[in-house]
Amino acid sequence: MFTDRTDAGRRLADAVEDRDVEADIVLAIPRGGLPVGRVVADRLGVPLDVVSARKIGAPGNREFAIGAVASDGTVWLNEPAIDEFGVADAYVADQIDRQREAARAAVERYRRDRPPLELRGKRVVVVDDGTATGATAIACVRAIRNAGADRVVVATPVSPPDTVERLSAEADRVICVVTPPYFSAVGQFYESFEQVPDERARAYLTANEE
């Protein structure tokens, strides 16, 4: 159990340090990933920025991810699930457009007028407050690779083992503090798992700037 996202960030930073991860940039998935990413970035002594992707939910069950799309349009689709549920191509195409715009708007909302960090040739650590299906994290990893990053590590406080395996096929390395076999939601592993307001999220992003 993590006390809150800051506690999770400390324990995740410990795990990252223990594995001698070298990084140039930490990218947090907003909003919940920002307080965790702030701690990790500060521990590593590197800048913090955001990377955003939005889940594509199944028709009639939006919580079940059949894919995800990042702000740059990078897409990951769960093709077996799409086939199993008979999801129409038109629905998938419409959701890709909608969720891409939502992810792009999120980046602009948190970054405001700050230019994005250059990722080409960089070693990037992607941080979230937990990964359930891994859909958004996979889309983010693919977007970061498309931006020219040299190495991508996913770091998360909690994730089920099958999701860690799925992420390991996409990232160069996956670091997870706990991998419980019984997993229903990220929030069940936090004593406090309140929503992070936009203003506080932006404050995490700009903390420690000169």
Tell me, yes or no, whether 36 and 124 share the same domain: yes
Calculated CA dihedral for residues 57, 168, 127, 113, nearest 10 degrees: -70
Q: Are 36 and 19 contained in the same domain?
A: yes
191 and 145 in a single domain? The answer is yes
pLDDT tens for 110-137 read: 888 888 889 999 999 999 999 999 999 9
pLDDT digits (tens, 9 = 90+) for 44-80: 999 999 999 999 999 988 888 899 999 999 999 999 9
Final residue before a domain boundary, out of 68, 83, 109:
109
Per-residue model confidence (pLDDT) at position 210: 46
Residue 59 and residue 47 in one domain:
no
The domain of 15 spans 5-52+119-206
pTM for this predicted structure: 0.93
Residue 70: which CATH number?
3.30.1310.20
Query: Same structural domain for residues 24 and 47?
Result: yes
Model confidence at 189, in pLDDT bands (50, 70, 90)?
Answer: very high
Distances in Å between the Cα of 54 and the Cα atoms of 13, 82, 83, 97, 140 are: 25, 17, 21, 11, 9
Q: Are 140 and 49 in contact (CB under 8 A)?
A: no
Count of CB atoms within 10 A of residue 207's CB? 12
Q: Same domain for 9 and 23?
A: yes
In a domain, 83, yes or no: yes
Residues in the chain: 210
- In the DSSP assignment, the letter for residue 46 is -
Other residues' Cβ atoms within 10 Å of the Cβ of residue 123 = 17
Q: How many domains does the chain have?
A: 2
Residue 114 lies in a domain: no
In the predicted structure, residue 38 carries a pLDDT above the cut 90: yes
* Phi and psi angles of residue 39, each rounded to the nearest 5 degrees, phi first: -65, -45
